Every structure is written in structure tokens, then in C-alpha cells.
Amino acid sequence: MSKLYFTYSAMNAGKSAILLQAAHNYRESGMEVMLWTSGHHAHDPQAVMGEIESRIGLNAPAHLFRAGMDVYEAIKARRDAGPLHAVFLDEAQFLTRDQVWQLARVGDEFGLPVLCYGLRTDFQGELFEGSAALLAIADDLREARTICHCGRKATMNLRRDASGEAVSEGEQVGVAKTDYVSLCRKHWLESLER
């Protein structure tokens, strides 16, 4: 059970809801969990706590990770303070490569399951740094699925501007989740070619 897991998908597949349900199941069984999410969107750059929120209204407080943070040491400090049975991490695409290796070390050295959830690719069809590292070294890969408007499996994330037009250039992070739509590869390419 002490594995590094990566559940990935396109936007709107319910990754955060799946994470929160799994964390609830651990807690309901009397186990202690530590929740994490990305600090990329935090309004206060000094904040250490944020919230995991799902589109269906589930939420829970979570520690914030940022680039340069040693998540291994933070989890070790929490484990040393009392029982800890699992670590859950949302928005795993924003992890650095080093942080993914730190999470693998948590699983290997502490015997804890580390369950990461995130996007596989950005709006340009490129792997995120954290996702690339997780795809390379995670013990268990799982795909959460969602569908395109045509009914096919959505694998791509399309970013739209304020007028609804497809965006093919720009920053990989820092835009609102509502600026994205999940599409199959065919409709993603068609949207970019318009």
C-alpha cells in the first residue's frame, strides 16, 4: 500500500471529488490523512493553508505546496507529531520534479500511500513538469475520464479567451479554471485551427 499513485485526466473529470471522497473514507475508518494542494492560485503568497474544492461542492482544508518547498520535510514533521496514514495531493501537475521524488521518498521510507491527482497536459498538449515526473516514477497510474461534447473520451484541455476563442500561446499556469474546456484530440485540434 505504500505506493506513489498518480490519478490524471483532462479538466472536469472529478479528480478533486475523487480525492476528497477517498480522504473521507480513510478518516471514516479512523485513519489520519494529510491533504495538500497547489499554492499557485493562493491570494496570499505567505499562506500555508488553502482549500481543495470540487466542482460539485465538496471541499476540505489543505496545506499549500509551492516551488522550492521541501514536501518531504513537511510531511515528516507532520508524521513525527502524530499518527499519519496517507497523504493526498491535488493539482499535482504543479509539483516540481524534485518534489515528486520527495513524495516517492515519503512512500518508500515511511510506508505511507501518497495519492496525487492532477492534469496530464496543459492547453498546448504539453506535459506539466510534475505530471511528467509522476508518469515516469509513480508506482500506480490511473486515469479519471471525462467526455468531449461529441461523446468521445476527452484527453485535451482547451483554453479560451474572454471572447470564447481558442488560445494556443501563453503562460502554462495562472488562469482561471473556467477558461478551460475538455475536448477529445480531434475537437481540440479543430478548435486550434480555426
Q: Quick one: which H or E segment has residue 107?
A: helix 97-110
| DSSP per-residue letters across 23-86 | HHHHHHTT--EEEEEESTT-SSTT--EEEEE-TTS-EEEEEEE-TT--HHHHHHHHHHHS---E
One of 91, 126, 165, 169 is an active-site residue; which one?
A: 91
User: Is residue 91 annotated as a catalytic residue, yes or no?
Assistant: yes
**71-81 and 97-110 helices cross at what angle (nearest 10)?**
30
Q: Which residues are catalytic?
A: 91
